[in-house]
Structure 1
Amino acid sequence: MAYQIDYAYTCHTGKVRTNNEDNFWCCGVRLPVHNQGVDGILAGHTQHWQLPMLAVFDGMGGESYGEMAASAAVEALGGFYEENKKTLKKEPVVFLTGACENMNEAVCRYSNENCIRSMGTTMALLSFSEKAIYACNLGDSRIYRHFQGKFQQISTDHVIGGKMLGKAPLTQYLGFQEENMALEPSIVEIGYQPGSSYLICSDGVTDMLSDEELQKILDGTETAEEKVGKILEQALERGGRDNVTLVLAQISGYEEKNILKRWAERHSTGR
């Protein structure tokens, strides 16, 4: 069985903030450091054997530091991905752990070189291997799974527990100085199931919409592009108080008719 991933994504500054501190990685597509999001909804498709990755980053730090943190992490992820595809294929957890360490080092290096003590970024990522899907996150950007009417969060919110005013401080993120505590990404393995879908989003989505509201949209029969449009529209209607970034991936299965052709394609790209 082979699997196709149809994905759609968007990034919007929101209705309150003047700058965009979010970024994303969608099969190699990302935003420049300084940006105002994207126009409309973007979409694409790929196959699982191409080892695609989809990720959302929510930068923190004020001024332009959030953008720099998210951009440094995205750039580091791209470089690590290109250099370590063989590891991703054979040992996905080793790859993801190494990618997180590499991204963290990149953000910390920029912070130290520029004497910035308050910058970082969340990261929520889906990695597709040949045998399974891996969800990996640091911070409070979330990953949800939707399948057969069941909607569940599969990422971990790395925040200090208890009720408090405002946003709870993060216990894990990229840009994490490891003198006193180790970087510990959450990594979850999920088997492929045709008809399943995965939503990756910054808190500009989850602070505006409840899980029940998100599930209602994903329960629909629309395309991934149309569902992303609905989520963005509702987040903005609720006030759009933060940058809004989301990626939706829908999984479908099919029987391969030409395995030799796929073998040739894989080896021609060095995978």
Structure 2
Amino acid sequence: MNYDIEYAYACHRGKVRSNNEDNFWCCGHMLPEINDGSGEISEERCSSRTFPVLALFDGMGGESCGEVAAKLAAERLGSYYQRNRAKLKHRAEEFVQEACREMNRAVCSYAAKNRISTMGTTLAMAVFAGQKLYMCNVGDSRIYQERNGAFFRMSTDHVQGNGLFGKAPLTQYLGIPEDHMVIQPSVAEIDCQPDTRIMLCSDGISDMLTEVEIQAILNRKKNASDTVHDLMKLALEKGGRDNATVILCQVHERKAKEPIRERLKKVLQL
């Protein structure tokens, strides 16, 4: 099946934080290190034949380390993708695992060089590899799937405990030195099918909205841009306590082009 991916994305500083530590990499687009969010919702459409990759990052660490970590990871994902996109034809899971290691090394290298002990970033990533879609996360940024009314969380929260008395600490994130702990991203694989919707979000969305509220918005079947708008709007209305980033992908079957001979026949009959 040949298919198109319609996707939309936005990043907002929120209503409480003074800076934005979120970032994204959407088919080459990312934010600068110091930013106040995307300022608008971006919407694109591409073919599955381009093997698109979309990801978001929620940086963490004081003294601007969060935004540095998020930008470093986004940049490294971009450079890795440019060098290794061919792997997505036959070795997609290898691509996912190696990309995570590369992003982790980029953050760790900067931290070691600058003697920073507390910096890192989460990751949520969607990788379209022909007839397969790989969803990968490190940390607590979430990935959801919706199709024909069925709604699933596809990511795993890498957190310690249940966070009953505050934000639970992360057990996995990009920025963990390899001699301390091995990065173990959670990876889910599904077949790409028409009308599948994949939503990636930072905790500025998932902490403000319940999964029932997220599902209700996805079930409205609006286009990608309007759906991102509705998710962001509700998260801000409910307090916007954190930076918020959301990426929504929708799979559309591409109709086969009519043969040139048949089109010429129709033109001649007019």
Where on the TM-score scale, by shorter chain, does this alignment land: which range?
Answer: over 0.9
Match of 1:217 in 2: 217
Q: Report the Cα distance in structure 2 between the residues aligned to 1:90 and 1:258, rounded to whole angstroms.
A: 29
The answer for the alignment partner of 1:57 in structure 2 is: 57
For 1:220 and 1:230, the matched residues in 2 are separated by 10
Q: How many residues align?
A: 259
What is the deviation of 1:193? 1.1
Rounded to whole Å, the distance in 1 between the matches of 2:127 and 2:86 is 14
How far is 1:162 from its partner? 3.4
Cα deviation, residue 39, structure 1: 1.6
Q: Which has the larger radius of gyration?
A: 2
Looking at structure 2, the residues matched to 179 and 220 of structure 1 have their Cα atoms a distance apart, in angstroms, of 47
Deviation at 1:179, TM superposition (A): 2.2
- Percent identity between the two aligned chains: 49
Match of 1:99 in 2: 99
Give the C-alpha shift of residue 28 in structure 1.
0.7
Aligned with 1:84: secondary structure?
A: helix
Unaligned runs of 5+ in 2: 260-270
Match of 1:46 in 2: 46
Instruction: Give SS of 2:247's match.
Output: strand
Provide Cα deviations, 1:172-210, integer angstroms capped at 9, x if missing partner: 110012323211011111101101101000000000000
TM-score by length of 2: 0.93
Corresponding position of 1:269: none
2:266 is aligned to none
Give the secondary structure class of the aligned counterpart of 2:101: helix
Q: Which residue of 1 aligns with 2:76?
A: 76
Shift of 1:102: 0.4
Local SS of the residue matching 2:122: strand
Runs (4 or more) in structure 1 with deviation over 3 Å come to: none
Residue 100 (structure 1) shift = 0.4
1:244 partnered with 2:234: no
Counterparts of 1:147 and 1:62 in 2: how far apart (Å)? Answer: 39
Change (3 A) 1:217 1:162: closer
1:208-253 deviation per Cα after TM superposition (whole angstroms, max 9, x unaligned): 0000000100001311100100111000001100001000011111
> What code does the residue aligned with 1:85 have?
R
Secondary structure in 2 matching 1:133 = strand
Deviations 1:26-65 (A, max 9, x none): 1110001000011221100111111001111000002200
Given the two structures, how large is their TM-score scaled by the length of structure 1?
A: 0.93
RMSD, aligned α-carbons = 1.2
1:130 Cα shift?
Answer: 1.0
Q: Distance in 2 between matches of 1:43 and 1:222?
A: 13
Distance in 2 separating the partners of 1:164 and 1:61:
22
Q: Are 2:12 and 1:17 equivalent residues in the alignment?
A: no
Q: Which residue of 2 aligns with 1:265?
A: none
Query: CA offset at residue 150 of structure 1?
Result: 1.1
Mapped to 2, the partners of 1:27 and 1:147 lie a distance apart of: 23
- Unaligned residue ranges in structure 1 (runs of 5+): 260-271
Match for residue 253 of structure 1?
A: 253
Which string of whole-angstrom CA distances, capped at 9 and with x for unpartnered residues, describes residues 73-109 of structure 1?
0010000000001112220010111100000000000
Please give the secondary structure, in 1, of the residue aligned with 2:179: coil
Deviations 1:120-165 (A, max 9, x none): 0000000001120000110000100001111111011111123441
1:255 positional shift: 3.2
Moved more, 232-241 or 155-164: 155-164
In the aligned structure 2, how far is the partner of 1:64 from the partner of 1:205? 21
Q: Supply the AA of the counterpart residue of 1:108.
A: C
Shift of 1:254: 2.2
Q: Which residue matches 2:26?
A: 26
- Written as runs of structure 1 = structure 2, the 5 A alignment for 1:1-271 is 1-257=1-257
